[in-house]
Amino acid sequence: MALIVQKYGGSSVADTESIKRVAKRVVETKKKGNRVAVVVSAMGDTTDDLIDQALSIDSNPPEREMDMLMTAGERISMSLLAMAIHAEGSRAHSFTGQQAGFFTDARYGAADSAYSSARIKRIQTERIQTELDKNKIVLVAGFQGINAKGDATTLGRGGSDTSAVALAVALGADICEIYTDVDGIFTADPRIVPAARRIPSIDYESILEMASCGSKVLALRCVEYAQRFNMPLHVRSSFSRRPGTLVVPDGIDPRTLPNLD
């Protein structure tokens, strides 16, 4: 039995129909006999909309309140996804970053930056383990944690990728699957360069080089984290069944990884 962490980005859960589609895919993974934990992003443009609302009230909003606001987006998608999984006849249990035991440092997340924001210090996985042991699908709100004061913090834009990899490492998962709206990582942006080719398998270093050249499929911090702990990643589309891109440590045969179909 494999333990799989899946992350679904905002475009994969943009509306309730998409959430139902994602629920089917999550349940399918579970029914293949895997243990499954899922990290979700906020629906579509929710985070941008929340930031716009805040800035329309105060051009320099208090950081603490900004983080409180931004964590709301992921709570909406995780609870709706739990309901959609329930409607599929399976059992799911959703957790905020706080409930999931994501402890961060004291920084609040700057709305416009991926770097000057909170960093995960440790993940206390007991509650998640308990629900996985009950054979449930566990859902975790991405991009958030709590600081030592118990206040909500956020991890920077695109931070759900980092939540997913950190959770996969903390749980000792076999793979962390990152679901997005493109079929993996390409030699160039396939939406702009039609001749771009999908990269079937790649190492962390090359991804980090691509990211520093502006490729934005994965958050830089999440790749650094995966590299540090040798966590295999599978970047793939939630809209298709195509194979995606495996990001694996040197020396691992990608064909030995779970849930490749």
User: What residues make contact with ligand ASP under the rule CB under 6 A?
Assistant: 9-10, 41-42, 47, 73, 142-143, 157-161
Could you tell me the smallest distance in angstroms from the CB atom of residue 9 to Mg ion?
A: 5
Site size toward Mg ion, by CB under 5 A: 2
CA Rg, the chain, in Å? 17
Q: Does 73 bind Mg ion (CB under 5 A)?
A: no
Binding mask 106-145 for Mg ion (x = CB under 5 A): ----------------------------------------
**Nearer to Mg ion among residue 45 and residue 65 (C-beta):** 45
**Nearer to ligand ASP among residue 93 and residue 157 (C-beta):** 157
Residue the block writes with tokens 């396939």: 190
Could you tell me the smallest distance in angstroms from the CB atom of residue 230 to ligand ASP?
A: 23
Could you tell me the smallest distance in angstroms from the CB atom of residue 70 to ligand ASP?
A: 7
Could you tell me the smallest distance in angstroms from the CB atom of residue 42 to ligand ASP?
A: 4
Could you tell me the smallest distance in angstroms from the CB atom of residue 164 to Mg ion?
A: 10
Q: Which span sits near Mg ion by CB under 5 A: 1-9, 24-32, 80-88, 230-238? A: 1-9
Give the strand order in the sheet containing 137-141.
Answer: 92-95, 137-141, 35-40, 3-8, 175-180, 233-237, 245-247, 201-202
Q: Which does 180 bind (CB under 5 to 8 A by kind): Mg ion, ligand ASP, none?
A: none
Token reading at 122: 């440790």
Could you tell me the smallest distance in angstroms from the CB atom of residue 112 to Mg ion?
A: 15
**Contacts to Mg ion from residues 145-184, by CB under 5 A:** 158
Other C-beta atoms within 10 Å of 122: how many? 12
**Nearer to Mg ion among residue 81 and residue 132 (C-beta):** 81
CB 104 within 8 A of CB 34: no
Amino acid (one-letter) located at 94:
S
Find all residues with CB under 8 Å of 241, minimum gap 6, and list them: 261
Q: Does 9 bind Mg ion (CB under 5 A)?
A: yes
Find all residues with CB under 8 Å of 190, minimum gap 6, and list them: 182, 183, 196, 198
**Nearer to ligand ASP among residue 101 and residue 159 (C-beta):** 159
Could you tell me the smallest distance in angstroms from the CB atom of residue 160 to ligand ASP?
A: 3
Q: Which does 258 bind (CB under 5 to 8 A by kind): Mg ion, ligand ASP, none?
A: none
CA angle 183, 81, 142 (to 5 degrees): 70
**Nearer to ligand ASP among residue 97 and residue 258 (C-beta):** 97
H helices of the chain, where? 16-31, 46-57, 63-87, 126-133, 160-171, 204-212, 220-228
Residue the block writes with tokens 């799989």: 4
Q: Which does 227 bind (CB under 5 to 8 A by kind): ligand ASP, Mg ion, none?
A: none
> Whats the size of the chain, residue-wise?
261
Give the strand order in the sheet containing 102-104.
Answer: 120-123, 102-104, 144-146, 152-154
Interface with Mg ion (CB under 5 A) = 9, 158
